[in-house]
Structure formats: structure tokens, C-alpha cells
Amino acid sequence: MNKLITKSLIASMPRWVKCLTVDSNGKLWGHEASKADLECNKARHYCVDMSKREQCFGQGFDRRDWQHRVFAVAHK
């Protein structure tokens, strides 16, 4: 069974993470870039601005329709 992105998972992200994506292999990526600044290739979302951080936060996530799913992270 694939892992899902939940509200508690989103809330647990570091403050620098502005959005989350899942790639074609089911890896969860946190991006410092906003959704508007991301591009998508055949394998994953990425930011063309190399000064923005991104980090893998795990694997085994639901990858259905991954090309169209970007989750905004709003920190309180």
C-alpha cells in the first residue's frame, strides 16, 4: 500500500519547505521554491533556480497522477 500525503505530514515539514511533490518513483520531495517556480520533466518536479533547496523526505508514496500534484505547505 502506498503512503499518502496527510495534513500531519505537511505540518511536520521544515519551515523552508513551500511545497511537496511526489516523483515518478514515489519519492516525496520538499521544495523551497513555490509551486509557480517548479517545472516538470519525465521523472520529477524541479526548480530551475538552483539556489532553491530541495530534499527527498522518503519513498513509497502514491505516485498516481504525480505530474499534476503539487501540495502547498502553509506554516503557522
Query: What's the pLDDT tens digit per position in 15-68?
Result: 999 999 999 999 999 999 999 999 999 999 999 888 999 999 999 999 999 999
63 lies in a domain?
yes
Q: Is residue 1 part of a domain?
A: no
Alpha-carbon Rg for the chain in angstroms: 11
Pairing of strands 19-22, 70-72: antiparallel
**pTM metric for this prediction:** 0.91
Predicted pLDDT of residue 55 = 97
pLDDT-based confidence at 1, cuts 50/70/90? Answer: confident
Domain presence at residue 2: no
What per-residue confidence (pLDDT) applies to 48? Answer: 85
Q: Residue 4: what pLDDT?
A: 92
Q: Would residue 32 count as lying in a domain?
A: yes
Three-state secondary structure call for residue 45: strand
Q: Which domain holds residue 23?
A: 7-72
Q: What is the mean pLDDT of residues 10-15?
A: 95
Q: Percentage helix, strand, coil, to 5, in the chain?
A: 15, 30, 55
Predicted confidence at residue 76, as pLDDT, reads 75
In a domain, 50, yes or no: yes
Number of independent structural domains in the chain: 1
